Amino acid sequence: MKLLYICTHNRCRSILSEAITNQFGQGRLEARSAGSQPSGVVHPLSLKYLDAQGIAIDGLHSKSWNNLDGWQPDVVVTVCDSAAGEACPIWLDDTIKVHWGLADPSKLEGSDEEKAAAFNQTIDIIRQRVSTMLELQLDQLRGSALQDALTKLASEEQ
C-alpha cells in the first residue's frame, strides 16, 4: 500500500511519517511525503531524532506534492491541521484521504530535553500507527473499509 503524507511545509511531521513508514513497513507499506508549500529543507531535529532511533534518513528532503512524477498513492494522510483544509491536486481526487493530526514538535519552545521528548513522542505515535496498520492488515483493505480503519486508527489514544 502506498501512502502519501502531506504537511504544508514538508519539514517535520510528514518527513517523520515517511521515514518511519518506510523503515517499519515490512515491504507492505511504501511512503512518500510532500507539502503544498514546501520549505525546501528538512527540520534538523527531525533528522537528529530519527537518526538517534536508528531510522534511515538518507534521501529525505522537503518537496512539493507537484514533484511526485506520476507516483500514485493509495492513501493520502494529512498530518497537520492546515494541510487538512487544503485542496489536493486534481490527480489525487479519487484517492482515500484521512487526517492524522499530530502536534508539531518543531514549534516547541523549551529546553533541549523538552524538544527531545516532543520529537520522540511524535515518532512513537507514528511508529505505533504503522505497527497497527500492519497488525490489522490494513494493506489488504480497499475503499470505505480502508478509510474507516485509518480514521479510527487516528482517533485512538496512543
Catalytic positions: 7, 80, 88
Q: What is the DSSP string of the chain?
A: -EEEEE-TT-SSHHHHHHHHHHHHSTTT-EEEEEBSS--SS--HHHHHHHHHTT---TT----BGGGSTT---SEEEE-SHHHHTSPPPGGGTTSEEEE-----GGG--S-HHHHHHHHHHHHHHHHHHHHHHHHTTGGG--HHHHHHHHHHHHHS--
